[in-house]
Chains A and B, each alone.
Chain A
């Protein structure tokens, strides 16, 4: 058991990586003649310093939880679903149809219907690449990324030719009826007598996302299906030996993955936009890859990583607003975080592992 303690593996490693990413970001900010300290302060106060800031951070995090979970589930079946963007877009179409075409007496019913609608549409969009992979061997990375473009074109067409209200110049659907409007976190907290900053987009979907984390955890580690997904993900030949059908698992895992990505639309389309607009996913599908990577494909990790990226998104927005640091620099910071926590993970892990091992060996030597 030549391994370092688990806490070092799951907590210390990402924290050090994060620190390194921020340190280099600081150098970059320094290089363009700004103060890294001021920048950090702006980001932290802007994203976490007020309930107003939290209202945005949580909103972004909710998006990233769904797309992160989507990537994580597919990953456990050894598939790289980078089609979250398109699946979430199609989920938006599902939400729009649920909200526009069915009259709902109460938002709670609309929410349940929207969950089903968005998941179905997202899953359907993932089904085609899944079946192509399972039956024809078309690589899922290629097909899902191409399906992102197809989804964008399809949404464009649907909005311009079909969902756009007559007479409107805007390629967007009509506003959803008021009975489908989801409670904002502001309203929910007001019910408990707690004041929360006004006009923030965070809404009840955040709690749906938390439930989704729990559901994914149960699915992967507690059910027979999750067992089969993990077994297939580790070794296809072993799965076949055990009577697990590769076709079935490929398709089911991708349906769940696509469904989760699709459910993101509850947050941004139903909860925030209250109508379907062009390009509503705004890259959250791709951020989900980084979130899953950083969260080690575990629901708790995904939740934490989503919160971090939510902070980066909101803090970055504040940075562009209040300082003369160009908006593009935010992307640099985000990229550095992804680079260090994801791609360069082993750079931190290996020396850390060596450190713990040498300490342990010295420890045993002293004892004996």
Chain B
């Protein structure tokens, strides 16, 4: 059912009679009443890059965990290179030549690259010979696949992109022939992602088989040879990438037609709502996270902040929202509707910021935006529980909150529409809808919104984007922070690029390109210094 082997012109196209690298037949897995994988068939040809896409909860991760021995399938058969195999744990998977690069790296942060590489693959009780052997092997691998990393650097000192290379090297060092990458570009700059794709292409050309799990359609189109789509635990399609389109894939994923572009009219900015002047934040460890930034956001516009995560955007959002990291020192000035906000002391907290008309959809909904063990209705009041609408003297007005929650659940199409269900039991997209409903329906003058669609399925993305644009059209100001460049470019009316705690420049989304933003995100300024190439 899957397409034949590699792309046209691929130098390492395997001989026709070679068995497929991976063959899954009728894999099923249930967790309690939830059928996570239902009769999955999948064939991945040797020496190809195969993409697996699907919404959150579609069963991609379960399937890969089965392949890597974390879960035992309820039924079905796995064949690696034509031989049936029982993968009972990750050791069996590694021995069968499967390597996995997780979304969250499994590295020991205070070990060196070399130590991490041999961890679990030491040859004997003594470390020194293993390390020496690994060093030589690492040099070979680095040359072969453009995977240069300094073997003696500790993980802490490496950039995220380099850490990922260490993960790939780890797999290759264990002689992986099949490499599974789970959402590998989520943490990378566009340039780093390009580099990763070059590496993957190189690996494919050497005859390695690669499975790429992602939710980014662009990446699927760019790099994969074949692609499978999962929806609600089932494999709904396996096609050759060259013969499909992003629109078709999106439709297969969601099960209905999806609008990939944000539909919005030009902004009509009014007076400034938020004015930030020379803002600085020095954290607990004396590191300057925000380094003297100034900008305005006017009523009726969406200002997007682009940047690789970890360049001060999180600190900026938390600071504006009224909960900077403990022990942080803040200086500068913030004006909200022309009046200055306290930057320290009791009146600089999140409750005061809300009273001043700042709503906040935080970057991390599970750890900040929601109390995961609280029911949906209780979460609807979170942050506003002391307002007269939701309280009654010392008591919480449970009835009012419930009524409001039921309305919000209906208006935002939260599924399942059960206000008593704990937040934990909703999917990522529905959790985010609860947070967005809570913040947007307060009709704040300024909405701070961080990673609005991280881990959110395509259908919900469309919905959330629409709500943000509606708020803008109602004359409110929106500050959008996202690591998804596509999202920034399609949603913002103006784009600011942040790098290393500074704003590198402002761009018009109509005229700029991803490449230009990518350079700014990497810290390359507009006007290169004199004499520089």
Q: How far is the CA of A231 from the CA of B391 in the complex (A)?
A: 16
Chain A residues with Cβ below 8 Å from B385 are 224, 227-228, 242
Interface pair B321/A241, CB less than 8 Å apart: yes
* Per-position 1/0 for A1-42, Cβ under 8 A of B: 110000000000000000000000000000000000000000
B15 to chain A, nearest CB (A): 46
Chain A residues with Cβ below 8 Å from B395 are 222-224
A355 to chain B, nearest CB (A): 13
Chain A residues with Cβ below 8 Å from B386 are 224
Q: Which residue among A223, A227, A235, A357 has the maximum number of chain B CB atoms within 10 Å of its CB?
A: A227
A224 with B371: in contact, given A241-B383, A357-B32 (CB under 8 Å)? Answer: no
**Nearest opposing residue in chain B for A358, CB measure:** B32
Q: How far is the CA of A245 from the CA of B372 in the complex (A)?
A: 19
Interface pair A243/B353, CB less than 8 Å apart: yes
A227 with B396: in contact, given A243-B322, A243-B352 (CB under 8 Å)? Answer: yes
Chain A residues with Cβ below 8 Å from B425 are 1
Interface pair B371/A2, CB less than 8 Å apart: no
Q: How far is the CA of A360 from the CA of B34 in the complex (A)?
A: 12
Interface pair B374/A243, CB less than 8 Å apart: no
Partner among A231, A245, A361 whose Cβ is within 8 Å of the Cβ of B382: A231
A238 with B367: in contact, given A224-B386, A243-B350 (CB under 8 Å)? Answer: yes
A12 to chain B, nearest CB (A): 19
B351 to chain A, nearest CB (A): 3
- Say yes or no for A237: interface residue by CB 8 A criterion: yes
- Say yes or no for B77: interface residue by CB 8 A criterion: no
- Say yes or no for B211: interface residue by CB 8 A criterion: no
- Say yes or no for B362: interface residue by CB 8 A criterion: yes
Q: How far is the CA of A222 from the CA of B398 in the complex (A)?
A: 8
**SS of A interface (majority):** helix
Q: How far is the CA of A238 from the CA of B364 in the complex (A)?
A: 9
A2 with B32: in contact, given A224-B396, A242-B350 (CB under 8 Å)? Answer: yes
B98 to chain A, nearest CB (A): 29
B275 to chain A, nearest CB (A): 22
Chain B residues with Cβ below 8 Å from A227 are 378, 381, 385, 396
Within 8 A of B (CB), among A223-247: 223-228, 230-231, 234-235, 237-238, 240-245
A360 with B394: in contact, given A234-B372, A241-B360 (CB under 8 Å)? Answer: no
**Nearest opposing residue in chain B for A225, CB measure:** B394
Interface pair B33/A245, CB less than 8 Å apart: no
Q: How far is the CA of A238 from the CA of B372 in the complex (A)?
A: 10
A241 with B33: in contact, given A1-B425, A227-B378 (CB under 8 Å)? Answer: no
Within 8 A of A (CB), among B317-362: 321-323, 349-354, 360, 362
- Say yes or no for A168: interface residue by CB 8 A criterion: no
Interface pair B351/A241, CB less than 8 Å apart: no
Q: Which residue among B323, B351, B362 has the maximum number of chain A CB atoms within 10 Å of its CB?
A: B323
Interface pair B32/A231, CB less than 8 Å apart: no
Within 8 A of A (CB), among B132-187: none
- Say yes or no for A324: interface residue by CB 8 A criterion: no
A95 to chain B, nearest CB (A): 27
Chain B residues with Cβ below 8 Å from A361 are 30, 32-33
Chain B residues with Cβ below 8 Å from A357 are 32
Within 8 A of A (CB), among B247-282: none
**Nearest opposing residue in chain A for B382, CB measure:** A242
Interface pair B34/A2, CB less than 8 Å apart: yes
Q: Which residue among B33, B354, B381, B391 has the maximum number of chain A CB atoms within 10 Å of its CB?
A: B33
- Say yes or no for B370: interface residue by CB 8 A criterion: yes
Chain B residues with Cβ below 8 Å from A222 are 395-396, 398
Interface pair B33/A364, CB less than 8 Å apart: yes
A360 with B33: in contact, given A224-B391, A241-B360 (CB under 8 Å)? Answer: yes
Interface pair B367/A237, CB less than 8 Å apart: yes
Chain A residues with Cβ below 8 Å from B34 are 2
Q: How far is the CA of A240 from the CA of B354 in the complex (A)?
A: 12
Interface pair B367/A224, CB less than 8 Å apart: no
Q: How far is the CA of A1 from the CA of B424 in the complex (A)?
A: 11
- Say yes or no for B73: interface residue by CB 8 A criterion: no
Interface pair B33/A235, CB less than 8 Å apart: no
B146 to chain A, nearest CB (A): 39
Partner among A223, A224, A234, A244 whose Cβ is within 8 Å of the Cβ of B374: A234
B390 to chain A, nearest CB (A): 8
* Per-position 1/0 for A330-368, Cβ under 8 A of B: 000000000000000000000000000100110010000
- Say yes or no for B530: interface residue by CB 8 A criterion: no
A245 with B349: in contact, given A227-B378, A231-B382, A238-B369 (CB under 8 Å)? Answer: yes
Q: How far is the CA of A1 from the CA of B425 in the complex (A)?
A: 7
Interface pair B371/A241, CB less than 8 Å apart: no
Q: How far is the CA of A242 from the CA of B349 in the complex (A)?
A: 9
Chain B residues with Cβ below 8 Å from A235 are 367-368, 371-372
B448 to chain A, nearest CB (A): 11
A238 with B32: in contact, given A225-B394, A243-B351, A243-B354 (CB under 8 Å)? Answer: no
Q: How far is the CA of A238 from the CA of B382 in the complex (A)?
A: 9
Chain B residues with Cβ below 8 Å from A238 are 367-371, 382
Q: How far is the CA of A234 from the CA of B425 in the complex (A)?
A: 16
- Say yes or no for B486: interface residue by CB 8 A criterion: no
- Say yes or no for B123: interface residue by CB 8 A criterion: no
Chain A residues with Cβ below 8 Å from B351 are 242-244
- Say yes or no for B373: interface residue by CB 8 A criterion: yes
Chain B residues with Cβ below 8 Å from A243 are 322-323, 349-354, 383
19 contacts between A and B (CB under 8 A): A2-B32, A222-B395, A222-B398, A224-B386, A224-B391, A228-B385, A234-B373, A235-B367, A238-B367, A240-B323, A240-B349, A241-B321, A241-B368, A242-B351, A242-B382, A243-B349, A243-B350, A243-B383, A244-B351
A residues within 8 Å of B by Cβ?
A: 1-2, 222-228, 230-231, 234-235, 237-238, 240-245, 357, 360-361, 364
Shortest 8 CB-CB distances between A and B: which pairs?
A243-B351, A2-B32, A243-B350, A242-B383, A240-B323, A241-B368, A234-B371, A243-B349
Q: A227-B378, A227-B381 are in contact. List 5 more A-B contacts (CB 8 A).
A: A2-B34, A230-B374, A235-B372, A240-B368, A241-B368
